[in-house]
Every structure is written in C-alpha cells, then in structure tokens.
Amino acid sequence: MDALRRLVEVWRSACADFEDLAHQLTDDEWRLPTDCTGWGVGDVVAHVAALESELAGDEPLRVTIDKQAPHIKSGAGIYTERGVVARRDHERERVIEELERAVERRTTMLADEPLDDPEGTPPITPGRIDWNWQTLLRNRAVDVWVHEQDIRRAVGKPGDLDSAGATHVQAVFAAALPYVVAKRAEAPSGTTVTFDVTGPLPAVYAVEVDANNRGRAMEPSPDRPTLRFTLDTESFTILGAGRRDPDTLPIRIEGDGSAHPTLARRILDGLNVTF
C-alpha cells in the first residue's frame, strides 16, 4: 500500500474511533468544557463534522459569529468557528449522523481518487487552503485523533493512546522536533536533546543542532544529551497539539545546568506543531 493510501486508512480508523466515542456521550457530557478554548464537547464533534462534510462536498452552513470572541485569533479561527456555531442548536444525534454520513461519502470519494501523487491538488481542502494531498490526508488524521483525545480528557474516558491514529500523530509531532529545537528554541550549535516517551507508544527521539544551527534527528541517541525530557505518550501529544501548559504535565527534565531551565522552557513552549 502506498503512502497516501496508508494515510487514508489511518484517517478512516481515527474517524471510526471518534464516532464510537461520540455515540457513548451523554447529554451532560456533550456540554462539558474541553481544552479547546470556547468549545464544549459537542462543539468539538460539530467541528469535525463540519470539516468532513465540507470535504465531502457540502456547502458550509452560513452563520454570523462574534469575531471579537477571545478564543478567535485569526481568519482560520473565524472559519472553524462558523462550522461549530452553525451546529450549536442541532441535536446530538443529528451532529453525529452528519459526521458519519460525511465520512462514508469521503471514504467512497477517496477510493475513486488515484492518489498517486503526494504533491497533487485535492479537489476540496478546508477553507480552500493551499494543501496538497500529502498535507491534507496527514492533517485530517491528526485533527480527528487529537480531537478525540480532547473529548476523552473532558469526559474522563482515557483511551486509544496506542491506536493507529495515536501512532500517526506521535510520528508527525516527532518529525517536527529538529525544527522545534534548532529554530523555535534557538538551541546553540552542538546541543543534543532527547525526548524519552513512555507509556503506550514508547520511543526515544534525539535531536542534534549542527554547526550551521540546523536540527537533525540522531540515531542512536546520545548517552548524555544536553537535555533529556521524559514524558508519556499523552503528555507528548498534548504538547504537540498545544493543549496545555507544560507546567501542568508530568515531565522530567535532566541535563546541562547551563542550558536548563531556560532552553528547556523554550523547547517545551515550542512543541505546539498543530497545523
């Protein structure tokens, strides 16, 4: 199976997990707040339904929103908010049914696409953003799984931290670590950093900043890195999604006293790599 078809399979698996969780929600849980500022659980489901419906060819629902709402930071925020607000008065079952129908239609549409060129242009992208097939399919799988976890934390039902979606998201976030360390955190040349991820998807990701101040993945990881972060799968992906302050998560930091805690904090603050 080629890379794009694998991404479709991951997206479909993440959608199935998301739909299963949505069906378990009670009316009270539907109204609980989430880590997505300004959105409750039902709003998160509505957001995913809105995007999948648009990608399946539906016209976005028209609605007026408060552009001054504090959680709306950009034009992209206005776009995503419209899909949520337009469904806020819909019954829970209606929103879930819309999502399921959209995913079914998109599954059929994607099966008919050749998907032989990662750089090719999809017929529809969210908000008509300039994404190729690789970016669209990668990001949809990330978005669905991350929002499933937003709901799970809100309702106290942890799970799916070792699913196909989880594996995909952790790999996507890990691929951004060289950029985070070298560019966002501006770690000096010669710095080495390891991220020891524990829990359902254990892994060690190592980064070195070279003489040109570029970050690169290291293999094998160094025995004594400049900085070592130890954190579990959930915390790693919460940071990658930009959901919570690092100080609220169980992270152990070890390493060079001259680099810690200033550089360590810059790295942790730079880990939000959602798209």
Residue indicated by tokens 């969780």: 21
pLDDT value at position 179? 98
pLDDT in tens, 162-200: 999 999 999 999 999 999 999 999 999 999 999 999 999
pLDDT value at position 274? 84
pLDDT in tens, 51-84: 999 999 999 888 877 666 778 777 788 889 999 9
The percentage of residues in the chain with a pLDDT greater than 90, rounded to a whole number, is 89
Q: Is domain 3-159 given the CATH code 3.40.50.720 in the classification?
A: no
Contact 19, 104 (CB under 8 A): no
Residue 250 — left, alpha, or beta (φ > 0 → left; ψ -120 to 50 → alpha)? beta
pLDDT value at position 275? 63
What is 128-190 written as a DSSP string?
G----HHHHHHHHHHHHHHHHHHHHHHHT----TTSHHHHHHHHHHHHTHHHIIIIIS-PPTT
CATH 1.20.120.450 boundaries in the chain: 3-159
Nearest residue to 13 via CA among 159, 208, 168 = 168
CATH 3.30.1050.10 boundaries in the chain: 169-269
The percentage of residues in the chain with a pLDDT greater than 70, rounded to a whole number, is 98
CATH architecture under which domain 169-269 falls: 2-Layer Sandwich (3.30)
Looking at the predicted structure, is the pLDDT value of residue 1 above 60? no
